[in-house]
Every structure is written in structure tokens, then in C-alpha cells.
């Protein structure tokens, strides 16, 4: 009896959607960046649809635009100098000396870093407003003269520079401290063996190696001060002064002047690109190599009795961005009058009750913030993950251009991006203004560079052979990414998600251009309440924002293998 052979068909090949999906993500990235920037450039050179240079001529000749530009340069330059003078010695004390509580000081600097600058400005309003500020009230009580001039008027140019410096010096501190941490002790030991004294070693070895980081920090501080919106809007506008960011914002008040706003945004964008390029060139040339084996740990400088003086100075510096502002917010949240010191007998829950049960905008703002935070973190992490995969594995043609576009938003100030998105999505076919979608696009775009850089670095630690083995066994590119690579990147993916969520909570610059009455977020609500003078409610909302932020940062630090919070280049 014979049995006929039955032909065995080859296994049916599954439809591979990897290429269309990867290309789709690439197109989404292009749309996120190119569309708003294209409309920004178009509006800058047009007036009622006609090509013109009149917008730039007005910017260059009208004092109402020239004065804010000069003011912005003064603020940014002064803040950068102050940050370097304060942060460089603190970085050295923390990284290279035996000063006590060095890790605590680093943690407190991180606290000032994650504090939204606009919230810090409001806290300093409570502390140093000329008439009602707590510091000025205490000063008048001490000298016994209720009519005395204020000790410190926060509504002045020096006051604004001081507040901005409080929340930009962490950028310089982190760069300098990290650079000093990486300088091997062998270099300083060699100097000492050759007879160099401590000052000689510092002048010829330590300072030259740390100087590029200090210069890069100065540029970052300049950039941060130049592009800030919240602090100048809160402290400069009441004094009748504008910076470039507040002037751009004012051009959207009635009657709106979008062409002038676009033209005013371009110089800010160009200057930002140049500063970031200069920072990369400075850091790119920095380097040294130790030949002969393992590098030794840096040798700490013994300060003797001076270490307690150094610790006192470090805490005195941190009083300005951390202790005094946080104390002012707590006081205002539970005081019947925000600018009066609270006692056990006068403490009240009135402000908390008002925020949660009487202020109608609170529930909507919290809901919008939560929705946007979760959505932005999820969408932003997903886009950054896929784009990082494309560029790290060179998965499609044009991956270099995608790498550039993914990092390009770091050069776009938030207020400029807001202008570009407003011009892009207020007309068909994409009418998104007035919806949460436009804020989602803004937040994802702002967070993309940091998310991409974090995940791109993580991809470099994963051997591509694992993915290749999976593909040999029949998995598609996306299946290999989802089942093999993404789990290995779990720590970095979670950390990236958390950082984007925190960024959404504190973002104001773009949101202030794009919000409507139905799309307010917590940061915009705080800004609106400041204009109406409701400082108690602001303090409650500000504390809520800080609690959420620190809870997420603490969670990040507890992720196994993450090793602490990492700061974003601004």
C-alpha cells in the first residue's frame, strides 16, 4: 500500500508594517518641527499676504521694540555673570573639597532647578514687594519706621536679574561640578610631585580643565535668561518694562499683530541657535586623556575650620532660590493675608478651600494638566523611542536629517514655538487652536530634544546583534524593538516619561500663547491669578505643583540603575 506524499506549504509570511510605521513617525517628526517654523518665517516677511521687510524695519527702529531687546541683553548678560560668580565656587566646594553635606547641597540645587522660575518670581513678590513684602515689613519693624524706603524692591531691573539668577545658576553649577568630578586626581598629583603648590595646581591644571564647562554654563545661563517669559511678565510688566518675550506675548493682546510677533521671534530664534552652537563648540574641544591605566579619584582639598564657613555660605546662597521662596509660599497658603506672617492662632484653611471648592477654574486646569501630562509623556516618549531607534540603527534613509530635527527644538524658545504653532493651527486644514491638541503638540515638541538624547544614548548601550537574531527568527523590526530592545531600555524609557511629565506641569511660555478659557493648565491659571492679585490661591496651587514635581523626581531617583536625576540642557 502506497501513501501519496502531501505537499507542505511554506508558512505564510506575516504582513510587515515596520517600514510604513517608521516612515510615518519620521513624517510626524518633520511636521512637528518644519510646519510651525515655516509659518513663522512666512509671516515674518509678509503683510496682508504681500512680501515685505517692514516688520523687521519696525523692530530695528521703533523704541517700543528696541528697548525690550536692550533690556533683554542686559538681563541675560548680568544673570550669566552672576551665575558664574556664584555657581563656580559652589561647584568647586561640592566636587573638590571636604565640605560637609555635599550631597545635600547637590540635592538642594536640584530643588531650585525643578522649581518653575515663574513660581519663584511670585514667591519673591511675597518677600520683596516694596510695600507689602515680608522682608520689607520686617525691615521697617526692626528700624521702627513704617514709612521707610523698602530694603529691596523686587519690581526693578536689579530685582528681576536677581530672581532670574536664582533659577538659572543650577545650570552652571551642574556643568562645573560634573566637569570637576571628571578631572582625574593623577593630573593634580603630578603637579604636586613636580613642586606645584595648591594655587599653582589650581591655576595651571584644575581651572583650565574646568574653564570650558564654565563658559558653556555661562552661555546656557544667558540663553535661559534671554528666553524666560514668566519671571519678566510677573516682575517687569508691573514696573512698565518689557523684555523680548513679554513684548512678543503683548503682540497677541487685542488687536493681535501676528506678523510683528513672528518677526520679533526670528531674532530670538537665530540668537538661540548661535548660542547653542557656541556651547557645542566649546564643549566639543574640551578633552584630555590619561595614559597608563585607571584614573584615580580626585583628591579632596582639606578646608580645615573653613569648611563650616563654606557650608554656611552654600546654605546662604540656597536661601534665595529654595528656603525663602518655599517659606513664603507656605506662609501665604495658610495665612488669612498672604503678606502677613502666619501663627498657630491665625492659620487657616481658607485658601485651600477656595482653590478646591470655590475657584471654578481649578478643576478644569487640574484635569487639563493631568490629561496633557499623561498624553504628552506617553506620545513624546513613543516618538523619541522610535526616532532614536531609527537614528541609532540607521533604519531608513535620511536618518541624519531626523537626528537633526529631533534635537532642533532645543534651539526654539517656548514663546517662539507658541507663536509658530498659533500661526500653523488657526486655519484650515488643521484648526486646532482652542483644543488640547495644540497644547499637546507644543509640549511634545518642547520635550522632544531631551527625550531623544536620553533614549539615543541608551540605544548605544544595546548590542544590535540581539535585534538581528530576533529578525533572523522571523520577527519584524517593530516586533524586535517591542519585545527585545524596549524591555532592555525600560529604565531609560520610564525616566524619559517622568521627565516629560514634569516638564508639562511647569511649562508656561508656549501655553500662555496657545491657551483658551477651556484649555487652561495649572501654570496659566497661576499666571492669571497673579494678575488679579490672589496670592493665597497662587501659593496653594504652587505648592501642589511642587509636590507633584518632587514626587516624580523622587520616583525617578528610586528607579534601579538610573542613578539620580539628570538635568536638561536648556
Same fold, 19-52+361-521 and 73-287+303-316: yes
With cut-offs at 50, 70 and 90, classify the pLDDT of residue 439: very high
pLDDT at 7 over 70: no
**Domain coordinates in residue numbering, the chain:** 19-52+361-521, 73-287+303-316
Superfamily, domain 73-287+303-316? MetI-like (1.10.3720.10)
- Whether residue 215 contacts residue 106, with contact meaning beta carbons closer than 8 Å, is answered with no
Report the mean per-residue pLDDT for the chain.
85
- Cα–Cα distance between 64 and 241 in angstroms, integer? 10
Average of pLDDT values for 475-486? Answer: 78
| Domain topology for 19-52+361-521 | MetI-like fold (1.10.3720)
Lowest mean pLDDT among 317-321, 410-414, 557-561: 557-561
pLDDT band at 85 (very low <50, low <70, confident <90, very high): very high
Q: Which of 298-307, 416-425, 544-553 has the lowest mean pLDDT?
A: 298-307
Q: Which residues, including other chains, have CB under 8 Å from residue 21's CB and lie 6 or more apart?
A: 386, 478
Q: What is the pLDDT of residue 1?
A: 46
How much is the average pLDDT of 43-71? 90
437: preceding bond cis by omega (within 30 degrees): no
**Which residue in 112, 122, 202 sits closest to 165, CA to CA?**
112
Residue 37 — pLDDT band, cuts 50, 70, 90? Answer: very high
Among 94, 369, 121, 389, CA closest to 237: 121
* Full-model pTM: 0.86
**pLDDT-above-70 percentage for the chain:** 88
**Ranges assigned E (strand) in 501-560:** none
Amino acid at each position: 500500500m502506497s501513501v501519496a506524499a502531501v505537499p507542505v506549504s511554506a508558512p505564510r509570511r506575516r504582513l510587515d508594517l515596520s517600514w510604513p510605521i517608521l516612515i510615518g513617525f519620521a513624517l510626524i517628526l518633520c511636521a512637528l518641527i518644519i510646519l510651525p517654523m515655516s509659518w513663522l518665517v512666512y509671516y515674518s516677511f509678509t503683510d496682508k499676504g504681500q512680501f515685505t521687510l517692514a516688520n523687521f524695519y519696525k523692530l530695528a527702529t521703533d523704541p517700543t521694540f528696541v528697548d525690550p531687546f536692550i533690556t533683554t541683553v542686559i538681563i541675560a548678560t548680568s544673570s550669566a555673570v552672576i551665575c558664574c560668580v556664584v555657581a563656580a565656587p559652589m561647584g568647586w566646594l561640592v566636587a573638590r573639597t571636604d565640605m560637609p553635606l555635599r550631597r545635600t547641597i547637590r540635592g538642594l540645587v536640584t530643588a531650585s532647578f525643578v522649581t518653575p522660575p515663574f513660581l519663584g518670581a511670585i514667591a519673591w513678590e511675597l518677600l520683596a514687594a516694596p510695600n507689602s513684602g515680608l522682608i520689607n515689613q520686617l525691615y521697617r519693624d526692626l528700624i521702627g519706621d513704617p514709612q521707610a524706603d523698602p530694603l529691596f524692591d523686587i519690581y526693578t531691573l536689579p530685582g528681576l536679574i536677581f530672581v532670574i539668577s536664582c533659577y538659572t545658576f543650577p545650570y552652571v553649577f551642574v556643568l562645573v561640578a560634573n566637569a570637576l568630578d571628571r578631572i582625574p586626581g593623577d593630573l593634580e598629583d603630578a603637579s604636586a610631585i613636580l613642586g606645584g603648590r595648591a594655587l599653582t595646581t589650581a591655576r595651571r591644571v584644575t581651572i583650565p580643565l574646568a574653564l570650558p564647562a564654565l563658559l558653556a554654563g555661562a552661555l546656557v545661563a544667558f540663553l535661559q535668561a534671554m528666553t524666560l517669559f514668566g519671571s519678566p511678565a510677573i516682575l517687569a510688566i508691573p514696573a512698565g518694562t518689557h523684555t523680548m518675550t513679554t513684548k512678543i506675548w503683548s503682540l497677541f493682546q487685542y488687536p493681535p499683530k501676528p506678523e510683528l510677533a513672528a518677526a520679533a521671534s526670528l531674532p530670538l530664534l537665530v540668537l538661540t541657535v548661535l548660542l547653542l552652537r557656541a556651547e557645542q563648540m566649546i564643549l566639543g574641544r574640551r578633552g584630555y586623556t590619561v595614559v597608563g591605566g585607571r584614573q584615580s579619584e580626585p583628591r579632596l582639598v582639606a578646608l580645615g575650620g573653613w569648611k563650616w564657613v563654606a557650608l554656611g555660605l552654600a546654605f546662604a546662597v540656597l536661601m534665595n532660590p529654595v528656603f525663602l521662596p518655599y517659606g513664603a509660599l507656605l506662609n501665604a497658603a495658610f495665612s488669612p493675608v498672604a503678606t502677613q506672617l502666619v501663627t498657630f492662632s491665625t492659620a487657616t484653611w481658607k485658601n485651600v478651600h477656595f482653590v478646591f471648592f470655590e475657584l471654578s477654574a481649578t478643576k478644569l486646569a487640574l484635569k487639563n494638566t493631568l490629561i496633557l501630562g499623561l498624553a504628552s509623556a506617553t506620545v513624546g516618549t513613543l516618538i523619541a523611542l522610535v526616532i532614536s531607534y531609527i537614528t541609532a540603527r540607521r533604519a531608513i534613509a535620511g536618518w541624519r536629517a531626523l537626528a537633526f530635527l529631533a534635537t532642533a527644538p532645543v534651539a526654539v524658545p517656548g514663546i517662539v514655538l507658541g507663536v509658530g504653532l498659533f500661526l500653523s493651527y488657526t486655519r484650515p486644514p488643521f484648526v486646532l487652536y482652542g483644543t488640547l491638541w495644540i497644547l499637546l503638540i507644543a509640549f511634545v515638541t518642547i520635550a522632544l530634544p531631551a527625550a531623544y538624547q536620553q533614549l539615543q544614548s541608551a540605544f548605544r548601550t544595546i548590542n544590535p546583534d540581539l535585534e538581528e537574531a530576533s529578525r533572523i527568527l522571523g520577527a519584524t523590526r517593530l516586533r524586535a524593538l517591542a519585545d527585545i530592545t524596549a524591555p532592555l531600555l525600560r529604565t531609560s524609557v520610564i525616566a524619559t516619561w517622568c521627565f516629560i511629565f514634569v516638564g508639562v506641569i511647569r511649562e508656561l511660555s508656549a501655553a500662555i500663547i496657545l491657551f483658551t478659557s477651556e484649555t487652561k493648565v495649572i501654570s496659566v491659571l497661576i499666571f492669571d491669578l497673579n494678575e488679579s492679585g490672589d496670592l493665597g490661591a497662587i501659593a496653594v496651587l504652587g505648592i501642589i505643583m511642587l509636590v507633584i514635581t518632587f514626587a516624580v523626581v523622587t520616583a525617578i531617583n528610586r528607579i534601579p540603575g538610573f542613578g539620580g536625576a539628570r538635568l536638561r540642557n536648556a
